[in-house]
Structure 1
Amino acid sequence: MSYHQTGSAGAGHDHCQYGESRLWFRGPERSLETSFMACAGGEETFGRFVDRPYAAILEDRLDRRCLNLGSLFCGVDALCGDAGLFELLNRAELCVLQAPGLLSQSNRFYRVHPRRNDRVLAPSSELTHLYPEADFTDVHFVGHLMVYLQQFRDARVEIVLEELRRNWVKKISELLDRLEVPVVLLGLRVLQHTEDHRDPVSAEVSPCMLNAVRPHCAGMVKIAVQVSGQSEELEDMLFGTLQQPMAEHMIGPAAHKTIADALIEPVQNLQ
């Protein structure tokens, strides 16, 4: 059973596909025959567990069709490697592109699933040589992999992170250059509380990385929002009985409104 059929999106959220893309987007399916702007990205753009994601709010505020091309578990590889998505974005009048996370990409240390970019398919020989004492047998997700590497509490993790940072800038710059439509890049930082009090090792897309790709896009918005478990929005979200732990780590309706408010002017400047 594929992941889009498991109820992972949240209560009441349909999935759909467009054109030749192999990704699953937020439904219901909408016509591509009339002009539209596109919002592409991961689970925040999809609007997991919320009734009206920022794409829907933008549509109302701008009075123009806004296609939600957010896809769960969509990261660097899905954005850059799905030819059908690329075609969809180039059919749009303009595009808001949520900058993908740092870990969700294949690189010289590990490979991720081409569509579900949160999954580690296999570590490379370079990673096993860098960590000869490590056992990667039970490591299946990129987040788990990074937590596991940090447990060794030495500088080797920075070698991996530096590879990811260079790779991210290269791939996103190339994607932006290939797109023929104006793009507003959304640098969205989702703040989550952690009980880990060790010296922090940043596995996030940094302002420096965003600045590096800024010349390749028409506009950029940098914004930070909190997950619903920290912002007291949980009661305004839609989720099943067993989905509350996941919903607590997603952004809520007020965060989506904040994102839409920040995007209005940059989008209007491109009209």
Structure 2
Amino acid sequence: MAFERMGLRPLDYRPVRYDGSKLEFRGPQRTLSGDFIACLGGTETYGTFIDRPYPDLMERSLGLSCVNFGWPNAGVDAFLKDEGLLRMVSRGRAVVLQVPGAMNLSNPFYKVHPRRNDRFLEATPRLRRLYPEVDFTEFHFTRHMMRRLEDISTDRFAVLREGLQEVWVERMQVLLQEIDAPVILMWFSRHAPGLGYQSSGVADDPAFVSRAMLRAVGGGAAHVVEVVISDEACAQGTRGMRFGAMQESVAADLPGLLAHSEASRAVSPILEALLAQ
């Protein structure tokens, strides 16, 4: 096929649903009746364009089923609003929770789709007052909108960002309380968390999350692990990833094969120690 990259067919993710959850996850279907590790996260956990994302690699390392509950572009809301999913992951021996960004969640300034959290639905009166010159009907995705708002006014954008950060901390604390299993909170990014309240930018996932925010929620987790993707892994670019040519720019922004291997190597020993207790 002309659009295929380097002769590799784009991945068939074999999407599946689990009884009780509203979301669709990467297949194949897994049995949840025995011991398993639940891997909860966004696009990176789902493993977009990756044959064997880090949950698969951890499963091989641990010899224990690691079920992929990744949901592309997931924010905190996608998980909190899915009671069936929370019940399922709570049955696991442990949960690896990829740190989500603070941009894809409903908040006092705007509403997002309850499941597809990157989809902007509407601005609240509070955001319209903050940016009276903006026509919010032109936006469909949160990142597009946030880039525009930051370009218009960095001072007003700081007010917006702080509001999102406060909501993120509150919701993450609730999410961790709702999971009835030990949680390993995993930072998975090309950069380390910023010092103090210095946070990631619009283009850097997990967007707007700072080290201070991680500290504020970390007490609800059994462990917090920082997986900072190495320069070597970044230099690999899209090598070995499977995507159509029209998807190359999207693939370039996502962790590659070596990055997923680094995540597995960082988290697996922590899981082994936790399971041995």
The structure-2 alpha-carbon separation of the partners of 1:95 and 1:204, relative to structure 1 and needing over 3 Å to count, comes to same
The offset of 1:244, in angstroms, is 1.3
Please say if 1:211 is aligned against 2:215: yes
**For residue 5 of structure 1, what is the aligned residue in structure 2?**
none
**For residue 182 of structure 1, what is the aligned residue in structure 2?**
182
3-state SS of 2:225 partner: strand
3-state SS of 1:144 partner: helix
Please say if 1:149 is aligned against 2:171: no
In structure 2, the gaps of 5 or more residues are: 1-9, 192-199
The offset of 1:204, in angstroms, is 2.5
3-state SS of 1:216 partner: coil
Equivalent residue for 1:240, pick from 220, 232, 244: 244
**For residue 107 of structure 1, what is the aligned residue in structure 2?**
107
C-alpha contact 2:161 2:208 (8 A) present in aligned 1: no
**For residue 257 of structure 2, what is the aligned residue in structure 1?**
253
C-alpha contact 1:226 1:251 (8 A) present in aligned 2: no
C-alpha contact 1:228 1:234 (8 A) present in aligned 2: no
Amino acid at match of 1:225: I
Amino acid at match of 2:117: N
3-state SS of 1:243 partner: helix
Distance 2:63 2:214 in 1: 29
Distance 2:231 2:26 in 1: 20
C-alpha contact 2:234 2:256 (8 A) present in aligned 1: no
Distance 1:32 1:232 in 2: 35
1:20-77 deviations in Å (ceiling 9; x for gaps):
1111111111112222111010010011101100000100101111101111121111
The structure-2 alpha-carbon separation of the partners of 1:47 and 1:123, relative to structure 1 and needing over 3 Å to count, comes to same
C-alpha contact 1:228 1:250 (8 A) present in aligned 2: no
1:21-32 map, 5 Å: 21-32=21-32
The structure-2 alpha-carbon separation of the partners of 1:176 and 1:146, relative to structure 1 and needing over 3 Å to count, comes to same
Q: TM-score, normalization: structure 1?
A: 0.89
Distance 1:49 1:70 in 2: 13
C-alpha contact 1:26 1:70 (8 A) present in aligned 2: yes
Please say if 1:262 is aligned against 2:266: yes
The offset of 1:216, in angstroms, is 0.6
The offset of 1:175, in angstroms, is 1.0
The offset of 1:226, in angstroms, is 6.8
- Size of the aligned set, in residue pairs, is 254
Q: TM-score, normalization: structure 2?
A: 0.87
Equivalent residue for 1:231, pick from 232, 235, 238: 235
Identity of aligned residues (%): 37
C-alpha contact 2:23 2:71 (8 A) present in aligned 1: yes
In structure 1, the gaps of 5 or more residues are: 1-9, 192-199
User: Aligned Cα RMSD in Å?
Assistant: 1.9
C-alpha contact 2:165 2:208 (8 A) present in aligned 1: no
**For residue 197 of structure 1, what is the aligned residue in structure 2?**
none
3-state SS of 2:85 partner: helix
**For residue 129 of structure 1, what is the aligned residue in structure 2?**
129
The offset of 1:241, in angstroms, is 3.0
Amino acid at match of 2:262: T
**For residue 4 of structure 1, what is the aligned residue in structure 2?**
none
